[in-house]
């Protein structure tokens, strides 16, 4: 990435300013007497909200000036099949980390799929550029150490939005570090003094993901009355879905029978089922 | 940088939520939740067929009666306001419910055209008890990848109504609930501030 250094510098400045934002204090806790506010505060699970919002704005700015324009050019310049080739290649590179986490979670059948995909796509699929395996009904799936931690019962912790890195939480950020260490390419980069390949790969991943979501993100931003809160919610729901490997959470939804939706008159006229809607944000832990 | 995958899927959710796919026509009376979802989608295809030179507002006007007919808007409004619902005055509750319908019709109506002509397969139906069930379906996206779409259906009186739509695990109701709660709490617990913001979006 040609702008790596300037990005880094901006990130450092942003980090310094963010730390002072952090020092300036966390989110104001709601008045304990105000039940609705307390509940909203807990549901948001975002005690560092002022700092997170600050970094969110920084990232929005970086996105507008750097990532989005690059992604736009990339999207225009590359025909769709080439774009898919890039994604397939990047996904294939992730196979060792996915496999390790499949095994950590005891998902042996998924581990088998990961191995088969890797061999099929790396050979018949021309080094990973063509996803031949998915044509044979072996579809791609994601796994990472953040999910592994969740499967072992680790809580997500409060929401954390960091410069460049974006949405996360302590569990998922720790997971990313472990995945980085698990990845053979990390060590290839160090051993042969070509750690640029990892930077290039991260940049390309960001570019690919952004290019695929140009319109979607714009529309979401336009339609939203609080884009930060929307992104925070979507991040959690998406992680939750990945952790459950896309299975629906019957038990979780049954645990969600709460009385929060019952109005003070005892709910005589109210359909209580609304209170049980699948709110997977709060049931994650 | 953003939760990009997620946001994309929500948009797809949005498009699909608003039934942009093709289905074989079915009998009009919904005998069970799965048949109900089929009915909703075939109705949506005829009613929401894209016309040339349509504005977002025009699409919203087309979509609104379908939402009022097939979605449990009062329950959705209550769920989305969450703990602030009991705090709101009856007037605010009524106004919020009305504005919300317009807001969702506008937000999702314009995405229709993008998501027409997809194949939907209805899978199993899970009884959640208490007159609620979830209908699982998959929709083939234009890029050929299947997306999971889960419909939460409530039996209200003798009719079925949609209470939530989830695409790839992303819930329409939960996402807006979080968004609205954030707006209200940042405005000192004022529900009318949220209503004003939604109206602003409608005006723009």
pLDDT confidence of residue B79: 96
Average pLDDT of chain A?
83
pLDDT in tens, A138-157: 999 999 999 999 999 999 99
pLDDT, mean of residues B81-90: 94
- pLDDT band of residue B44 (cuts 50, 70, 90) is confident
- Report the predicted TM-score, pTM, of the whole model to 2 decimal places: 0.81
Q: Residues A41-61: pLDDT tens digits?
A: 999 999 999 999 999 999 999
Mean pLDDT for the stretch of residues A175-198: 93
Chain B environment of A235 (Cβ under 8 Å): 3, 6
Structure tokens at A120: 């099929």
Q: Quick: pLDDT tens for B187-198.
A: 999 999 999 999
Instruction: Report d(CA A87, CA A130) in Å as an integer.
Output: 9
Mean pLDDT of A11-16: 58
Range of the domain at B94: 5-203
- What does the pLDDT read at residue B52? 76
- The residue with greater pLDDT, A106 or A273, is A106
Rounded Cα distance, A59 and A161, in Å: 9
Chain A residues in contact with B72 by the CB 8 A cut-off are 271
CB contact under 8 Å between B7 and A213, yes or no, is yes
Band (pLDDT 50/70/90 cuts) for residue B108 is confident
Contact yes or no for A274 and B78 at CB 8 A: yes
The least confident of A193-197, B66-70, B115-119, B135-139 is: B115-119
Whole-angstrom Cα distance, residue A230 to residue B182?
9
Torsion angle, CA of B165/B169/B174/B179, rounded to 10 degrees?
-110
CA-based nearest distance A189→chain B, Å: 24
Q: Which of B189, B201, B204 is nearest to B92 (CA)?
A: B189
Is the model more confident about B25 or about B142? B142
Q: Is the confidence at residue A195, as pLDDT, over 90?
A: no
Find the mean pLDDT for residues A57-78. Answer: 95
Cβ pair B86:A264 closer than 8 A: yes
pLDDT at B24: 39
Residue A249: predicted pLDDT: 54
Look at residues B165, B152, B71, B175 and name the one whose alpha carbon lies nearest to residue B115: B165
Scanning A205-234 for CB atoms below 8 A from B yields: 206, 209-210, 212-213, 215-217, 219-220, 223-226, 228-234
Q: What average pLDDT score do residues A102-111 get?
A: 96
Distance CA A266, CA A260 (A): 11
Alpha helical stretches, state H, chain A: 4-23, 35-44, 49-62, 68-77, 80-93, 95-104, 108-123, 132-135, 145-151, 170-182, 184-191, 196-211, 214-223, 227-243, 250-255, 280-283
Residue A86: pLDDT over 50: yes
Q: Name which residue leads in pLDDT, A247 or A255.
A: A247
- pLDDT of res. A264: 44
Q: What is the mean pLDDT of residues A26-54?
A: 89
Across the interface, whether the CB atoms of B182 and A226 are under 8 A apart is answered yes
Percent of chain B residues past pLDDT 90, beyond the cut: 49
Pairwise CA distance, residues B49 & B67, whole Å: 16
Model confidence at A18: pLDDT above 70:
no
Question: Which pLDDT score, from 0 to 100, does residue A13 have?
Answer: 61
Nearest chain B Cα distance for residue A260, angstroms: 6
Please tell me the total count of domains within chain B. 1
Residue B6 pLDDT greater than 80, yes or no? no
Chain B residues whose CB is inside 8 A of the A279 CB are 171, 174, 177
CB contact under 8 A, B164 and A44: no
Question: Contact at 8 Å (CB) between A262 and A270?
Answer: yes
As for the ipTM of the complex, it is: 0.83
Cβ atoms of B1 and B98 within 8 Å: the answer is: no
Residue B53 pLDDT: 79
Please report which confidence band the pLDDT of residue A219 belongs to, taking 50, 70 and 90 as the band edges: confident
> What average pLDDT does this structure show over A13-27?
58
* CATH at B126: 3.10.450.710
Residues in chain B: 204
What pLDDT sits at residue B56? 82
The pLDDT of residue B201 is above 60: yes
Q: Return the minimum-mean-pLDDT range out of A8-17, A34-43, A252-261.
A: A252-261
- Cβ of A260 within 8 Å of Cβ of B83? The answer is yes
Average pLDDT over residues A117-122: 97
What pLDDT shows up at residue A106?
95
Q: Does A248 touch chain B (CB under 8 A)?
A: yes
pLDDT of res. A151: 96
Contact state of A248 with B131 under an 8 Å Cβ cutoff = no
Looking at the complex, report in whole angstroms how far the Cα of residue B58 sits from the nearest Cα belonging to chain A. Answer: 17
Looking at mean pLDDT, say which of A67-76, B106-115, B143-152 comes out highest.
Answer: A67-76
Q: Which pLDDT belongs to residue A256?
A: 41
Radius of gyration of the CA atoms of chain A, in A? 21
> What is the spatial distance between Cα A248 and Cα B124, in angstroms, rounded to a whole number?
12
Q: With 60 as the cut, is the pLDDT of residue B88 above it?
A: yes
pLDDT at A136 over 90: yes
What average pLDDT does range A102-115 have in this prediction?
Answer: 96
More confident residue, B158 or A250: B158
pLDDT of B55 reads 83
């Amino acid at each position: 990435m040609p702008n790596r250094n300037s990005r880094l510098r901006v990130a450092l400045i942003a980090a310094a300013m963010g730390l002072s934002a952090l020092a300036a204090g966390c989110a104001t806790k709601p008045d304990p007497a105000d039940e609705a506010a307390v509940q909203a505060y807990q549901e948001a699970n975002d005690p560092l909200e002022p700092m997170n919002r600050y970094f969110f704005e920084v990232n929005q700015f970086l996105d507008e000036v750097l990532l989005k324009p690059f992604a736009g050019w990339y999207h225009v310049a590359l025909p769709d099949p080439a774009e898919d080739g890039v994604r397939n290649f990047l996904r294939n590179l992730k196979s060792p980390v996915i496999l390790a986490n499949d095994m950590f979670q005891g998902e042996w059948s998924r581990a088998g799929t990961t191995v088969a995909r890797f061999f099929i796509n790396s050979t018949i699929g021309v080094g990973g550029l063509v996803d031949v395996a998915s044509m044979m009904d072996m579809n791609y799936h994601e796994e990472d150490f953040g999910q592994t931690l969740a499967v072992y019962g680790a809580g997500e912790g409060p929401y954390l939005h960091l410069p460049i890195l974006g949405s996360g939480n302590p569990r998922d950020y720790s997971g990313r570090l472990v995945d980085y260490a698990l990845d053979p390419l990390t060590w290839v980069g160090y051993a042969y003094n070509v750690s640029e390949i990892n930077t290039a790969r991260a940049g390309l991943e960001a570019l690919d993901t952004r290019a695929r979501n140009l319109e979607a993100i714009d529309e979401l931003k336009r339609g939203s009355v609080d884009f930060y809160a929307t992104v925070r919610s979507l991040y959690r729901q998406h992680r939750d879905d990945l952790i459950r490997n896309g299975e629906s959470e019957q038990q979780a939804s049954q645990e969600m029978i709460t009385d929060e939706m019952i109005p003070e008159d005892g709910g005589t006229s109210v359909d209580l089922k609304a209170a049980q809607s699948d709110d997977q944000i709060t049931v994650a832990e | 940088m953003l939760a990009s995958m997620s946001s994309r899927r929500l948009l797809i959710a949005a498009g699909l939520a608003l039934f942009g796919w093709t289905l074989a026509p079915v009998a009009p009376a919904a005998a069970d939740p799965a048949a109900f979802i089929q009915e909703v989608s075939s109705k949506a295809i005829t009613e929401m067929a894209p016309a040339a030179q349509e504005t977002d507002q025009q699409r919203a006007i087309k979509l609104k009666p379908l939402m009022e007919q097939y979605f449990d808007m009062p329950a959705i409004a209550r769920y989305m306001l969450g703990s602030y619902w009991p705090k709101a005055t009856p007037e605010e509750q009524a106004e919020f419910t009305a504005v919300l319908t317009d807001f969702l019709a506008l937000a999702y109506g314009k995405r229709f055209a993008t998501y027409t002509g997809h194949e939907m397969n209805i899978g199993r139906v899970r009884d959640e008890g208490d007159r609620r069930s979830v209908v699982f379906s998959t929709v083939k996206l234009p890029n050929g990848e299947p997306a999971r779409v889960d419909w939460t259906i409530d039996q209200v009186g003798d009719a079925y109504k949609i209470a939530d739509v989830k695409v790839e695990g992303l819930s329409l109701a939960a996402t807006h609930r979080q968004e609205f709660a954030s707006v209200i709490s940042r405005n000192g617990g004022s529900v009318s501030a949220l209503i004003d913001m939604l109206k602003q979006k409608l005006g723009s």
